[in-house]
Structure 1
Amino acid sequence: MASSLLVLVLVLCSLAATEAQLRLYNLRASGLPTSLFGSTDGYVKVFCSSVSVGKTSVVSNNANPWWKEEFAYFQAQENDVLRLEVHDSDFLFDDLLGVCQRQVKLGTHTHDCYLDKGGTLNYSYTLG
């Protein structure tokens, strides 16, 4: 009986630390800065911990882009760091406009992030 209880406790503990799906969606920015070449050609790179999850398409000539892509990462754990890098695509090299970092929590959340070079990134995620 005691060994059965121990096995049950171990199973429940392992379930608490299991991986979950992280779903990132509704990425949009406002007030992105203009460059010498005109309006921003923005895109976002997505990372969870040190893993590259993907990047959005480039939205050209728009200081207020809305990206339609959604991202899923199936090995996320609560308290992993979600990192979003907002870039301006240029001919020679891309400019980093800002970085948003946050530890993910279970449930659905929406956040605003103020970018270093101006503008705001808004996004939603679900971990579960």
Structure 2
Amino acid sequence: MDSSVPLVLLLLMCSSIMVEAQLKVYDLRATDLPTVVLLTTDAYVKVSSGFTSLGKTSVRYNDANPWWEEEFSYFNIKENDTLTLKVYDLDLVFDDLLGVCKRKLKVGTYQHDCFLTKGGTLHYTYTLG
């Protein structure tokens, strides 16, 4: 009976360790972005997790329904870390923030829709594994 105690302790220790995994964010697209004074949005997305920037997409000019081909990957992610996507409209003076999407990460592949505060929807997929 004493020989099972180290095994139980080992199992408890292993279950409490947070495993780091690879995050992949892809298939970013938006629909029905707002039009301001006859100007269609020049949109781009910044992607981050915690304090780590994963990068930003290219700008899609004059497109209320842009689709971005970029994929973002990062290796030091843990389940329950927060994924943040910020959608901007490029302007001459300063870029307008159209909305922020935040999501706690889970292991697996998920597709999400995020309704932006200034109008429109961001659609994206992520895989954590």
Tell me the TM-score normalized by structure 1: 0.90
Q: 1:102 Cα deviation (Å)?
A: 0.7
Which amino acid in 1 is paired with 2:23? L
SS in 1 for 2:94: coil
> Which structure's CA Rg is the greater one?
2
- Structure 1: stretches of 5+ with no match in the other structure: none
SS in structure 2 of the partner of residue 110 of structure 1 = strand
* Aligned-residue offset at 1:51: 1.1
Corresponding residue SS for 1:122: strand
Q: Which blocks of at least 5 consecutive residues in structure 2 are unaligned?
A: none
Partner of 1:79: 80
Alignment-derived partner of residue 9 in structure 1:
11
Give, in whole Å, the separation in 2 of the partners of 1:11 and 1:62. 51
**Aligned ranges for residues 19-34 of structure 1 at < 5 Å?**
19-34=20-35
Partner of 1:123: 124
Distance 1:62 1:11 in 2: 51
Deviation of 1:36 after TM superposition, in Å, equals 3.3
User: What amino acid is the match of 2:75?
Assistant: F
Equivalent-residue separation in structure 2 for 1:55 and 1:7 (angstroms): 44
Deviation at 1:73, TM superposition (A): 1.1
Q: Determine the C-alpha separation between the residues in 1 that align with 2:77 and 2:97.
A: 25
Alignment partners' CA distance in 2, 1:30 and 1:21: 28
User: Counterparts of 1:11 and 1:23 in 2: how far apart (Å)?
Assistant: 28
* Equivalent AA in structure 1 for residue 77 of structure 2: A
Shift of 1:5: 2.5
Scaled by the length of structure 2, the TM-score of the pair is 0.90
The one-letter amino acid of 1:51's match is: T
Corresponding residue for 1:89?
90
Tell me how large the CA RMSD over aligned residues is: 1.8
More strand by share: 2
Runs of 4+ in structure 1 deviating by more than 4 angstroms, as ranges, are 1-4
Q: Deviations over 1:36-74 (max 9, x none)?
A: 361100000001112111100001010000000000011
